[in-house]
Structure 1
Amino acid sequence: MKISTKWQGGFAFTMDNGKGYDLPMDAGTTAGGNGEGVSPMEALLGSLAGCMGIDIFMILKPYQEKIERIELETDGERNEEPPKYFKKIQVTVHVDGDVPASRIWRAVNLSNDKYCSVANSLKAELSYKVVLNGEEVNQA
């Protein structure tokens, strides 16, 4: 999977998935941006909720016709000093419909422990390379 994220000027960037879908991102007005997009940290919370929501819907397949609503709220507590990473993330899963609570909890736990790539990517090892004027450069 490859994503391109291009600078739009100032603190604005646009993520392009190569399939015709874009996500405008901005640092937000408190950080000097224009606020015309989601912040990268908001996008991370939304990605977590989207990933888990898809999993939960799929796991609850036997109940899909009885489900009226699935909504996930994510509330992240950030570190006060840079880097302002998420120290804690609370995910609240709202389901309306005729579904046993035990099945919803099973779906949430399976998503978190086994299926949600975003939740498990929060533990990923990161590596970097730099390309300057078309040429890869090593760190000095």
Structure 2
Amino acid sequence: MIAHSDWKIGEIFEGVAQNGNSITFDADSAHKHGPSPMEAVLMALCSCTSVDVVSILQKKRQQLTGLRVSAEATQAEAPPRVFTHIKLTYAVRGKLSRKAVEDAVSLSKNKYCSVSKMLQKAASIEYEIVYPDGEPEP
């Protein structure tokens, strides 16, 4: 995997992956042009675990109709301002087995999500699962 970053102007940077995909980063406190690099890391964590959970639930033939993973992170007070604690909230919709969802989230956190595994070296990561449409089957 190869990537690079080009400084554009002010505090705007463009990150480019080997395949040409790009993301604009904005280090200014207003973040008008894109996420800060640390916001992007948090977004990557949410996306990485989402990919796992959807894949696992589909393999378990669960009728998933929606998933939103939200993250709330605490950073160290002094530089480097690494994440020290992250709470993930999985809002899951569909006709689902509670056990299947719990297993999928646990497998993602503990085995498959490489972003989570990297961040766990610096931050404690906890999670909760919520069911906006009501409780699933046991």
Verify the 8 A CA contact 1:25 1:36 in the aligned structure 2: yes
What amino acid is aligned across from residue 11 of structure 2 in structure 1? F
Q: Bigger CA drift: 43-52 or 82-91?
A: 82-91
In the alignment, the residues of structure 2 paired with residue 102 and residue 11 of structure 1 have an alpha-carbon distance, to the nearest angstrom, of: 46
Matched, 1:4 2:4: yes
Deviations 1:89-125 (A, max 9, x none): 000011100111211111111011110011112239x
Instruction: Write the distance in 1 (CA, Å) between the matches of 2:3 and 2:68.
Output: 26
Matched, 1:100 2:68: no
Match of 2:66 in 1: 69
2:116 is matched with 119
| SS at structure 1 position matched to 2:34 | coil
Deviation at 1:51, TM superposition (A): 0.5
* Counterparts of 1:49 and 1:63, CA distance in 2: 22
Larger radius of gyration: 1
Q: Structure 2 CA distance, aligned partners of 1:15 and 1:88?
A: 26
State the distance in 1 between where 2:20 and 2:111 align.
29
% identical equivalent positions: 33
Q: Indicate the SS of the match to 2:18.
A: coil
User: Structure 1 stretches of 5 or more lacking a match?
Assistant: 125-140
1:131 corresponds to:
none
TM score, norm. by length of structure 1 = 0.79
Provide the aligned length of Structure 1 versus Structure 2: 120
Distance in 1 between the 2:41 and 2:116 partners? Answer: 10
Q: How big is the alpha-carbon RMSD for the aligned residues of Structure 1 and Structure 2?
A: 1.6
Structure richer in strand, relative to its length: 2
**Structure with more contact order per residue of length (Cα contacts < 8 Å, sep ≥ 6):** 2
Q: Which amino acid aligns with 1:27?
A: A
Counterpart of 1:54 in structure 2 is: 51
